[in-house]
Amino acid sequence: MTTPRVRVRYAPSPTGDPHVGNIRQAIWSWLYARRSGGDFLIRLEDTDQTRKVAGSLEQIYASLRWLGIDWDEGPDIGGPYAPYVQSERLPLYRVAADQLLATGHAYRCFCSAERLAEMRKAQQAAGEPPGYDGCCRALAPEDVGRRAAAGEPHVVRFRMRDDGTTTLVDLLRGEITVENRHFDDFVILKSDGFPTYHLAHVVDDHAMKISHVTRGDEWLPSAPRHARIWDALGYRRPIFVHFPVILGPDGGKLSKRHGATSVLEYADEGYVPDAVFNFLAVLGWSFDDKTEIFTRQQLLAVFDLADISVNPAAFDTQKLEWMNGVYLRDAAEPALVEMFAARLDRDLPAGVPRPLDRALIEAFTPHIRERVKLLSEVVDLVDFFFVRDVPTPPANEFLSAKRWRNDAAGAARSLEAMADALGALGDWTTPAIEASMRGTAEAIGETVGDVFTLCRLAVTGKRVAPPLFETIEIVGSELAVSRLRAAALSLATAV
């Protein structure tokens, strides 16, 4: 028996923004397909028309594209097994259902909703396990034919329940055996002609030659049903891989309450795709006992589905942030400048003229790259470079340090002295600025810590900013000096 070509599909339902847990499934599936030199495709599972949310497909595409995941076949680009949308494949499911009907693996059931409800009530009252009682199993064939032909509403059920057992293999968990008596004869074709998930995915995964059926482990309990359908249809079973879920930081279900649940929101918050990709890839998967940071190339070289942990993993936002910082620090400078520029263009106040000064961004990028964990933090770190009239912070900001608490005049004098020194500086370079400022601090008998804090506040308007001398150089002589003087003046008048 030859091993079939690896073909893995990502099969989202159009029910809104894809959840990160779902996207992680896509990442793992994609990684495996690519790593194996196989195919990765998208199939839309939209048989539950009631849960449909408009625009979902676009968000699914956008999420994957943002992460750099490509696909070989899908609703948008077609492929040899088109269509890739289940609601457009209805005839195929009917054919499969007919085959199961003809071979006796399935039967038509005319039970009314009322009868089913009553049956359930009785089972509940008797403390019996719920499930279809097999009422229509024994219907006479000629009756069935007549009623179906007459258009009487009915469903098609799979003959599941019997005295045997079903065994299947899950790649991550090994062999799983269950007794068939715990199942009922489940519906595979609804009265409106739509298939249930059970039938649809089997028909499609077989038709599309999927080698590894990857999906969330909420499907594990019904996997025996699917295995039985595969067998009944005479198909060769695929390899089942049931992925664990992602939990919220508190161990509960991951929800909006914990922050972002969709990768598009992470994009919005200033995370970079490679970091999110890396983070999600290693959340619940590991290569060895130490490696955390993987380039895409490395991942593509070493990823294996078999190394996935079956435990549900809690989403650790702090670790994601850390990892994002790693990616930002490791990024090539031109790429970083590009990211900063794009983000600033979006976040800076409208009053700042566009296009933004590229040279300016290039100038400060090396000095902030180690201080940024999220792109969204950049604007607060550098806005004073762009905004000409930075408001001088209130006096109490300057006077909060012990040294100045009762000496506003001294603070004002210190700032004046710095302004004088810098105003007279001919060589406007970082080393010269540093030498001048240190010299001035010494000359006026202040510690650099005390006086530089005042300068930082005056020039940047912030307590926390990029390194002072470099910052002052970039801000430029004229602006730096005038901001120092403005601060000195405000302190002098505040006394």
Pick the closest to residue 161 from 139, 132, 190 (CA basis). 132
Query: For RNA, which is the closer residue by CB, 300 or 326?
Result: 326
Structure tokens at 179: 């007794």
Tell me 220's DSSP state: G
Distance CA 474, CA 468 (A): 10
Q: Which residues of 260-269 are buried (b: 16+ CB within 10 A; e: fewer)?
A: bbbbeebbee
Distance CA 258, CA 249 (A): 7
Q: How far is the CB of 485 from RNA (least distance, A)?
A: 19
Q: Using CB under 7 A, list all residues that contact RNA.
A: 120, 124, 127, 129-131, 173, 176, 178, 182, 184, 186, 217-218, 220-222, 244-245, 247, 251-253, 282-284, 286, 288-290, 292, 307, 309-314, 316, 318-319, 321-322, 325-326, 329, 370-371, 448-449, 452-453, 456, 463-470
Question: Are the C-beta atoms of residues 364 and 473 closer than 8 Å to each other?
Answer: no
Give catalytic residues, as residue numbers: 256
Query: For RNA, which is the closer residue by CB, 62 or 293?
Result: 293
Query: For RNA, which is the closer residue by CB, 84 or 384?
Result: 384
Query: For RNA, which is the closer residue by CB, 98 or 316?
Result: 316
Q: How far is the CB of 74 from RNA (least distance, A)?
A: 26
Query: For RNA, which is the closer residue by CB, 176 or 432?
Result: 176
Query: Using H for helix, E for strand and C for coil, what is the string for 74-99?
Result: ECCCECCCCCCEHHHCHHHHHHHHHH
Cβ neighbours of 250 (radius 10 Å):
11
Structure tokens at 481: 């000096």
Structure tokens at 377: 């933090």
Please count the CA atoms within 13 angstroms of the CA of 252 that sit on its side-chain side: 5
Q: How far is the CB of 451 from RNA (least distance, A)?
A: 9
Residue type, 116: L
Residue 314 three-state SS = strand
